[in-house]
Amino acid sequence: MQARMEWPWLALTELCCRYRDYRNADDYTYTVQFWHIFAARLAFLILFEHVALCVKLIAAWYIPDVPQKVKNIILKEKHSNLQNELSMTEYSTEV
């Protein structure tokens, strides 16, 4: 009885639970409202995941893996290597 005097709100919550939890009162199975909310949450989750994936793919498509400056350096090195090989084959006397 001492607890009820200190916390009067405790006496009200001891009598009944007010949170229904989207269940039937008789057999505590899920209500139709629960399944509608569950389906909406699942649809939102799938939609959000697909939007995030599309944004990621678009960003990956726009942003190159290798910068253009590095590609140009590699192409210049290949070009100089090919020129060196061609100049060596011009002076070669192998048959």
5 in any annotated domain: no
Q: What is the dihedral of CA 87, 89, 93, 95, to 10 degrees?
A: -170
Residue 8 has a pLDDT of 61
Q: What pLDDT, in 10s, does the model give residues 6-40? A: 666 655 555 555 666 888 878 889 999 999 999 99
pLDDT, the chain, mean: 83
Task: Give yes or no for a contact between 23 and 29, defined as CB atoms under 8 angstroms apart.
Answer: yes
95 in any annotated domain: no
Task: Give yes or no for a contact between 23 and 30, defined as CB atoms under 8 angstroms apart.
Answer: yes
- Evaluated on CA atoms 37, 43, 49, 52, the torsion sign reads negative
Above 80 in pLDDT, residue 74? Answer: yes
Q: Reduced to 3 states, what is the DSSP secondary structure of residue 23?
A: strand
35 in any annotated domain: yes
- Residue 51's pLDDT band (boundaries 50, 70, 90)? very high
6 in any annotated domain: no
Range of the domain at 30: 21-90
